[in-house]
A and B are shown apart, each in its own frame.
Chain A
């Protein structure tokens, strides 16, 4: 199988949401001694970009996006350990999570997928996470970006608590903060001291890329 066929296979596996296929092609990348980063760029990311565009155009919907994400992660699990350390170090670290009191994470997971596809090294701390957990994760991962989400109104205050905790700990200046979720807005982001607000995953990636 040629390099082009393998990369094309990765792309198709992501677009069609076939994680077994994507894993198979990823293993082929390693077996053939191809460069994992090249496979990510020319296979997985291309596939996720196609899915992102189709989702924006309402040609596919959440089920297809989520299955595509699974296919991408299945291949990344194989490829990432083989990336040379100096190349891995160049990736921008970010922390993402749902704030304390909220367990709704489907939006966060979509955003995480798009940032991963955009080349970020995403540290997902999960849902219902207290402010201290965000601070800890930023310090441990040397993150340059923090993304927080919430779907519920009562837990919006947890976003402010997290920003306040970052300020108090002295790490606020080291990260760009973007927030998202149905009840949030650019005004709210400004009010709590965040840097940006993302309407959706694509918007979030574009704004963060521009900011860093």
Chain B
């Protein structure tokens, strides 16, 4: 909590976004399938609880996958044994279909929205006094692109006035769906925070004008962000896209936590020190930005080295900005939930931050 308020702390906080990979810790270390983890609230929660015991992190953020809401809207979700579930058959197949979307009944135990809320509730009950907990929810435009296919949505936005209106109609329906989920998180699961995935706020995808029209404006993200706080949860954002809309999503929206990635090969991708120097950590706890691939491919020595360097970079930048603690050493995106992900690298990241993440 001190880090969120930029109070002096003994060290930086840390949270590699380890979610689906935690299923490897269940079943006496033999692991369970992705399907079992993503459809059973108890197993979902048990994995986070086991992960916290194993890694001793500072947060628990209950991300399931990005097809939960689209699946409940009617899209077909493919669940491989050991791969993140994803939509393989959209439910919107024409411009006319946008208007057919209906808000699902998320109290129905068959919906994965219900599984997500209930699994989050069980995790919060077990870990809420120990770490900062947060639910994870998909923003309206993300859900729509999952339900229709991103390429079609982007074209429908500007193909003609009729298709443009249909996109807005669908976004309005999904915003209502999101409101139901926010209330369920706030009233039933009661995590300390709620993390919104607003990944289309990326200059590789949409400009300011496009993003404002199709997600940023008050009737979409604006009112959802307000509702999050009204329901008693800290408003947080995760955006692992390249070239994120920091002026909108951080400076304007002022989330408590903003989790972001770093793409060194992409010109203009903001590093940790650049983000801090430009003032984005002045009112928000930034989180990032270790390459998620490192948890799969690096030797543990390299993970230690990279984490140490990031701690030093962040500590220096915070000091230069006159800040104390507003950075969390994390992965830029979810730690790959692959069976080949090295749990020892997650542990190395956490332990190295605890040892070397000292902020003077």
**Residues on A close to B: CB < 8 A?**
17, 58, 60-64, 66-67, 70, 101-106, 109, 128, 152-155, 182-183, 185, 188, 199-200
What number of A-B contacts does a CB cutoff of 8 Å give? 68
Most buried by B among A17, A66, A199: A66
**Whole-angstrom distance from the CB of A3 to the nearest CB of chain B?**
29
Distance (whole angstroms) from the CB of B210 to the closest CB of chain A: 6
Contact residue among B83, B150, B204 (Cβ-Cβ distance under 8 Å from A152): B83
> What string of 1s and 0s marks CB contacts (under 8 Å) between B62-90 and chain A?
00000000000000001010111011100
Contact B151 A106 (CB under 8 A): yes
Q: Are B336 and A153 in contact (CB under 8 A)?
A: yes
Dominant secondary structure at the A interface: loop
Judge whether B94 is part of the interface by a CB distance below 8 angstroms: no
Enumerate 15 A-B pairs (CB-CB under 8 Å) in ascending A order: A60-B207, A61-B210, A63-B154, A66-B154, A67-B155, A67-B158, A101-B80, A103-B87, A106-B154, A154-B337, A182-B263, A183-B336, A185-B265, A185-B293, A199-B265
A60→B263 CA distance, assembly (Å)? 21
Q: Which residues of A contact B158 (CB under 8 A)?
A: 17, 63-64, 67
Which residues from B are CB-within-8-Å of A60?
207
Q: Could you mark each residue 248-273 of chain B with 1 if its beta carbon is under 8 Å from any beta carbon of chain A, else 0? A: 00000000000000010110000000
Q: Is the CB of B338 within 8 A of A153?
A: yes
> At the interface, yes or no: B159 with Cβ under 8 Å from chain A?
yes
Q: Once the chains are docked, how many angstroms separate the CA of A62 from the CA of B145?
A: 13
Which residues does chain B contribute within 8 Å of A17, judged by CB atoms?
158
Q: How far is the CB of A15 from chain B (nearest CB, A)?
A: 13
Q: List chain B residues, Cβ under 8 A from A200.
A: 266
B203-A183 in contact (CB<8A) = no
Binding site for A on B (CB under 8 A): 78, 80, 82-84, 86-88, 150-151, 154-155, 157-159, 203-207, 210, 242, 263, 265-266, 292-293, 296-297, 336-338
Nearest CB in chain A: distance from B20 CB, A: 10
Per the bound structure, the CA–CA distance linking A108 and B205 in Å amounts to: 14
Q: How far is the CA of A111 from the CA of B266 in the complex (A)?
A: 16
Ranked nearest first, the 5 interchain pairs of A and B with the lowest CB-CB distance are: A153-B336, A63-B154, A154-B338, A154-B83, A61-B207
Residue from B155, B204, B207, B297 within 8 A of A70 (CB atoms): B155
Nearest-Cβ distance from residue A211 to partner chain B, whole angstroms: 18
Report the Cα distance A106→B84, complex, angstroms: 18
Looking across the interface, which residue of chain B has its beta carbon closest to that of A110? Answer: B151
- B155 A155 Cβ-Cβ under 8 A: no
CB distance from B152 to the nearest CB of A (A): 9
Which residues of the partner chain A approach B155 to less than 8 Å between Cβ atoms? 63, 66-67, 70
B154 touches A152 (CB 8 A): no
Closest-CB distance, B212 to chain A (whole angstroms): 12
Q: Are B205 and A61 in contact (CB under 8 A)?
A: yes
| B-chain residues with CB within 8 Å of residue A109 when the two chains form the complex | 151
**B211 nearest CB neighbor, chain A only:** A61
Contact of B336 among A70, A106, A154, A188 (CB under 8 A): A154
